[in-house]
Structure 1
């Protein structure tokens, strides 16, 4: 791919965020260059094929009513998929499986149904500075019901510290999950590939295997980007679709800017995940389970979509590590295997493929009480630098993960179009 010397817009990062921004920019008639440091596009949405099974980087899903599906529909890029089953769940406590609501007392079952059934009615405007633990302690009487609710909150937020996470934010995520959790058939790389095709259709240039070394500024305005091959690309504006720490590495003097503040405020979230493909599932009735006393998750996504070439089933077992990217690797893998042994005894006899991801980055920031449940960057505009815009799951107010990333990319593209 030939890279020209000038573009209206340079987008740094070729994941869902960067490609979304590139589509909107190029669709508006702007000349666009997307730079991706890896050889493969996709970022956290990459899919790897292992022995015929399609593994995302851990469990991935879209929420019906969320920004990701809204944008993909707008761009005519909605992938084939299916929805997660709503037929109950299993809880795990002290190495025992609790079937919900069958193994709850009558009073516990009634309260659980009330909590989940009325979640959509909860007004969250005043709850963004209240932790989800504080909210639950005031609104849920039975301890086991609270533990079940906390397990759901960890799944909705990917955060294990329930005293840190904003209840307003988590409850809004729960409302979206109730509308439908959609898995992508064949893995999320299909979404990445469709966005790439759409961007290139409108004229965007996409360059992989090359990194941005510096965003060149003059008189507090963007002038272009210096690439790792020492080429200088002039540009009117730049959208960064990377994390705050990576961004600061590209901007001289960031310590005195908002981006430096955002870097210091960020609390990335990590998780360890065991991805497994099986010829057959030992217990097909066990589809979804959450640990009540530990931050563990299990799901069989192949109940809803095809994720292999030969009909094998893809299952995910995950541990939420919070902001700790130094969680003990061997212990995490052993605990995840033990959990799978409990839920799917004999699974090792059916293995097609296994992959363990230790301390995988999930999100660049949690939506904390301290930041009132919103992204550390309030919006795409970097106030100190004309023509520099940010996008990602750490930007803006709406949603999280793919929803936040794609929504902020759309907003960043609008701002860049108006700037140019």
Structure 2
């Protein structure tokens, strides 16, 4: 079997397959593993590709536990604020604190408290074809109450387009309100642990090895092998392709169904400003969430080992899309001015990215939420599977990656039991 791509999804799939007794080779086109999970060291600060957080209680943690991978880090909580009109406001952390916050008026507080108290009784699956904005407008008449829930929707989904986002996804996240984990050392530590598990199980990992195409049988109905960038071919009868929908479509030129999937995919993007500071001007202000705009700022090093002693690793972000403004580094600096006045004096390292891809497929109301995403198995090509944050009916972001990896490995292992398969490269 061949796994294409050495990001989190590819490594998890390879490890699961190898543990199940399959002969598997992973091909990664670059010189290093990790994909969007890579972390770089800049002056002792651990820079992820934007603000990464691992949601506890979801598919990612379930699969990691299966693989005996135990990520270490911490969960944010103290020093949290809402940001409205450039001013920090008290962040409510429960039904009682909602009534005391200055972030909402009295009518908004009462409406919001009533909705949150009844949220557990909502069947999120019935909202697949309803947009989050439409659902909020049906349930809340006060703008400040809607803004509050939109803010928490953005931070849990990384999506700002409430007109398109399926309420199924957003409401399920609000119901769970999962804790997040910032990882010690950055996400490269997770990549390293998955690499170790894959190698220990017997998977072969080939770096600087680009797969240019999958080779099909004469009738085009099944996998026969993979062709590498140097022209060599390796016989396999199953391929797991990671990456985005466009990457998968390129592997089978002329396949109309894969091309349609790529064309209808709506990526979720963000602008990010990552800062390594020698110290925090205001140590008690660690997190800010925009309630009147798509802003986020968090001092990840407050709970995870990501900075030198006394330093601070801060991620500032603008969720892009929807009715929000265009990306602007100056706007992200304004968010920092509100959270950490005087921060510019302490900058050791910084990195701005105006358009960072967060996920490959926005689960929209138009396409039916999670169930509208492509399946793990490619129905018309036997032996071709896909893994990623855009595949299958479970989870978004990293949870979607790991859920699809688990599903692909399960399907292949069941098939392996039914009919022995050839080793990758055999």
TM-score w.r.t. the length of structure 1 is 0.91
**Given the alignment of the two structures, is residue 24 of structure 1 paired with residue 19 of structure 2, yes or no?**
no
Q: Which residue of structure 1 lines up, in the alignment, with residue 82 of structure 2? A: 91
Q: CA deviation at 1:171?
A: 1.3
Q: Which residue of structure 2 lines up, in the alignment, with residue 34 of structure 1? A: 26
Give me the whole-angstrom Cα distance separating, in 1, the residues matched to 2:317 and 2:27. Answer: 31
Q: Which residue of structure 2 lines up, in the alignment, with residue 269 of structure 1? A: 268
Q: CA deviation at 1:285?
A: 2.3
**Given the alignment of the two structures, is residue 77 of structure 1 paired with residue 77 of structure 2, yes or no?**
no
Any residues of structure 2 matched to 1:294-333 within 5 Å, and which? 294-322=293-321, 332-333=328-329
SS of the counterpart of 1:245? Answer: helix
Give me the whole-angstrom Cα distance separating, in 1, the residues matched to 2:322 and 2:14. Answer: 30
SS of the counterpart of 2:22? Answer: coil
Any residues of structure 2 matched to 1:192-231 within 5 Å, and which? 192-218=191-217, 219=219, 220-231=221-232
Q: CA deviation at 1:310?
A: 3.1
Give me the whole-angstrom Cα distance separating, in 2, the residues matched to 1:312 and 1:117. Answer: 40
Give me the whole-angstrom Cα distance separating, in 1, the residues matched to 2:305 and 2:364. Answer: 35
SS of the counterpart of 2:283? Answer: coil
**Change over 3 Å in CA distance of 1:188–1:248 after alignment to 2:** same
Which runs of 5 or more structure 2 residues have no equivalent in the other structure?
A: 93-100, 417-426
Which runs of 5 or more structure 1 residues have no equivalent in the other structure?
A: 1-8
Q: CA deviation at 1:189?
A: 0.6
Q: Which residue of structure 1 lines up, in the alignment, with residue 5 of structure 2? A: 13
SS of the counterpart of 1:182? Answer: strand
Q: Which residue of structure 1 lines up, in the alignment, with residue 333 of structure 2? A: 337
Any residues of structure 2 matched to 1:36-185 within 5 Å, and which? 36-85=28-77, 87=78, 89-101=80-92, 102-103=101-102, 104-116=104-116, 118-176=118-176, 178-185=177-184
Give me the whole-angstrom Cα distance separating, in 1, the residues matched to 2:195 and 2:401. Answer: 16
Contact kept, 8 Å, 2:79 with 2:284, in 1: the verdict is no
| 1:247-274 CA distance string (max 9 Å, x none) | 111103212x3x2221122001111100
Contact kept, 8 Å, 1:269 with 1:323, in 2: the verdict is no
Q: Which residue of structure 2 lines up, in the alignment, with residue 4 of structure 1? A: none
Q: CA deviation at 1:393?
A: 0.7
Give me the whole-angstrom Cα distance separating, in 2, the residues matched to 1:48 and 1:165. Answer: 32
| 1:369-419 CA distance string (max 9 Å, x none) | 012111654421111111100111111111101100111011111112233
**Given the alignment of the two structures, is residue 382 of structure 1 paired with residue 378 of structure 2, yes or no?**
yes
Give me the whole-angstrom Cα distance separating, in 1, the residues matched to 2:173 and 2:111. Answer: 20
TM-score w.r.t. the length of structure 2 is 0.90
Give me the whole-angstrom Cα distance separating, in 1, the residues matched to 2:373 and 2:162. Answer: 22
Any residues of structure 2 matched to 1:283-302 within 5 Å, and which? 283-302=282-301
2:400 counterpart (392, 396, 404): 404
Q: CA deviation at 1:111?
A: 3.8
Q: CA deviation at 1:344?
A: 0.8
Moved more, 188-197 or 315-324: 315-324
Q: CA deviation at 1:364?
A: 0.4
Contact kept, 8 Å, 2:45 with 2:313, in 1: the verdict is yes
| 1:48-81 CA distance string (max 9 Å, x none) | 1111011111111122210001111111101111
Q: CA deviation at 1:210?
A: 2.0
1:373 counterpart (353, 369, 376): 369
- Number of residue-to-residue matches in the alignment: 404
Contact kept, 8 Å, 1:375 with 1:395, in 2: the verdict is no
Contact kept, 8 Å, 2:79 with 2:285, in 1: the verdict is no
Contact kept, 8 Å, 1:296 with 1:319, in 2: the verdict is yes
Give me the whole-angstrom Cα distance separating, in 2, the residues matched to 1:33 and 1:192. Answer: 17
Q: Which runs of 4 or more aligned residues in structure 1 lie more than 3 Å from their structure 2 counterparts after TM superposition?
A: 104-121, 375-378
Contact kept, 8 Å, 2:162 with 2:322, in 1: the verdict is no
Q: CA deviation at 1:116?
A: 4.2
**Change over 3 Å in CA distance of 1:380–1:286 after alignment to 2:** same
Give me the whole-angstrom Cα distance separating, in 2, the residues matched to 1:397 and 1:232. Answer: 33
Q: CA deviation at 1:93?
A: 2.5
